[in-house]
Structure 1
Amino acid sequence: MGLFGARNRRKGIPDEPGLLAAAAENPGGSVAEIDPTYIDDPNGYVPPEAIRGAWVVDDSGRLTGEYQENPRHGVPQDDFGKLTDPDHWLGWLGDDPARAVREGIEESLRAQVADAVVEWVKILETPRFLTGGRPRSDDDQVVLVTRAALAAPFALSVRTTRHGRSVLLGVFSWAAANLSRPAVRKDRHWFDLGVGLEWAGERLQERIYEIDGEGDTAER
């Protein structure tokens, strides 16, 4: 587990059946210690910050007594690096694309549960991007971007009064049309739980045309 720091030797080896069983299943590896303050289900998605550290396991599947502290342990934070790091034009999302996408996700959740509070969001893979345009009428060497869309795989934590905390996995998609005519711009969001990028990416082109019938060419 590359995210961990220096090792230290703790006094005694914990006599916890679950920990010992996990060690037996990971000879030569390590077993993570999850902080229940931030995660209720250790078998689901666990953000890196929710891992306190890891017990080192020897080649026979036994704990060595060595423990690797996680220097990132603490309150999970947003991570939109996989959205903003790629060299792809995101001007249609405004000056702060990460904030725009986060607000779009929050709006999608609050449309279902009014008091939903998003604790953190992490974009898990480079999103699928789609843009379309047409030549400008007075200069066919210049292409006007008329529509754009993205599909972004995410993990997030949300709290509601009724259900408490839930960690959700899925893909958030956003399509916008009439970008060259701001007064009649149209936007739509899709919040698909339990699906992967391949599934959402296959639907991105039909979705970008779904909100507007203009026949501009879409390009990946």
Structure 2
Amino acid sequence: MGLFGSRNRRRGIPDEPALLAAAAENPGGSVAEIDPTHIDDPNGYVPPEAIRGAWVVDGSGKLTGEYQENPRHGVPQDDFSKLTDPDHWLGWLGDDPATAVRQGIEESLRAQVADASVEWVKILETPRFLTAGRRRPEDEQAVLVTRAALAAPFALSVRTTQHGRSVLLGVFSWAAVNLAPPGARKDRHWFDLGVGLDWAGERLQERIYEMDREDGAAER
């Protein structure tokens, strides 16, 4: 892993079997110290804020005694920059796309467990976007957006009364059709755990057209 923050030398080298074994497996690298206050499974996804720092390992796989602190260590925070930074139109999500997606994720979780409470959400990669429309009859240079969708890979922490805290990985997808008159807008969410962006991205188009077909069948 990459090191960060100021480097210092701690008194003595910890005689912890797990730490020494991890160092032996990472010669010339480092071993992170995870804060158990914020994460339960150090072998799963670990948000950057949950890393206290890292022990430096020499070329033979032994701890040098040097320790580099993580200036970001603290309570994990939401990170939607991968959603909002790309130059892609997200007007169909309202004035605050990050809040809209977070609420959609929380609604999906509460549909499964009523008291689910999301502690933090991080969008891990630039989402896959899909936008379609039709030209305005009065202005062929302008386009009316009629349908839109996205698939956003995430890591999140959720708490429930029964299960306590869980860190989940997956892809949250959102599709909306009939964004332009005369139809009535329809939205749908998908919350797919343990899948990758390629898998979810390939299904975006079929999911949005499935909604179109259902809408057409309802009209008939």
TM norm. shorter chain > 0.5: yes
Report the AA paired with residue 158 of structure 1.
Answer: V
2:23–2:57 contact (8 Å) kept in structure 1: yes
* Secondary structure, counterpart of 1:83 in structure 2: helix
Report the Cα distance in structure 1 between the residues aligned to 2:196 and 2:94, rounded to whole angstroms.
26
The percentage of counterpart residues that share the same residue type is 88
Report the Cα distance in structure 2 between the residues aligned to 1:9 and 1:169, rounded to whole angstroms.
36
Map of 1:79-118 to 2, 5 A cutoff?
79-118=79-118
* Secondary structure, counterpart of 2:43 in structure 1: coil
Report the Cα distance in structure 2 between the residues aligned to 1:182 and 1:134, rounded to whole angstroms.
13
Report the AA paired with residue 104 of structure 2.
Answer: G
Report the Cα distance in structure 1 between the residues aligned to 2:182 and 2:106, rounded to whole angstroms.
23
Q: Does 1:121 align with 2:154?
A: no
Q: Deviation of residue 183 (structure 1)?
A: 6.9
TM norm structure 2: 0.95
Number of aligned residue pairs: 215
Q: Does 1:199 align with 2:215?
A: no
Q: Residue 54 of structure 2 aligns with which residue?
A: 54
Q: Residue 68 of structure 1 aligns with which residue?
A: 68
Q: Residue 218 of structure 1 aligns with which residue?
A: none
Report the Cα distance in structure 1 between the residues aligned to 2:79 and 2:87, rounded to whole angstroms.
17
Report the Cα distance in structure 1 between the residues aligned to 2:69 and 2:183, rounded to whole angstroms.
53
Report the Cα distance in structure 1 between the residues aligned to 2:205 and 2:191, rounded to whole angstroms.
16
Map of 1:124-135 to 2, 5 A cutoff?
124-135=124-135
Report the Cα distance in structure 2 between the residues aligned to 1:178 and 1:44, rounded to whole angstroms.
40
Q: Residue 37 of structure 2 aligns with which residue?
A: 37
What is the RMSD of the two structures over their aligned residues, measured on CA atoms?
A: 1.4
Once the two structures are superposed, what CA deviation does each residue of 1:147-198 show, in whole Å capped at 9, x if it has no partner? 0000000000000000000000000000000111387100000000000000
Report the AA paired with residue 176 of structure 1.
Answer: A
Report the Cα distance in structure 2 between the residues aligned to 1:138 and 1:113, rounded to whole angstroms.
49
* Secondary structure, counterpart of 1:45 in structure 2: coil
Runs (5+) with no aligned partner, structure 2 = none
Q: Does 1:170 align with 2:176?
A: no
Q: Deviation of residue 140 (structure 1)?
A: 2.5
Q: Residue 136 of structure 2 aligns with which residue?
A: 136
Runs (5+) with no aligned partner, structure 1 = 216-220
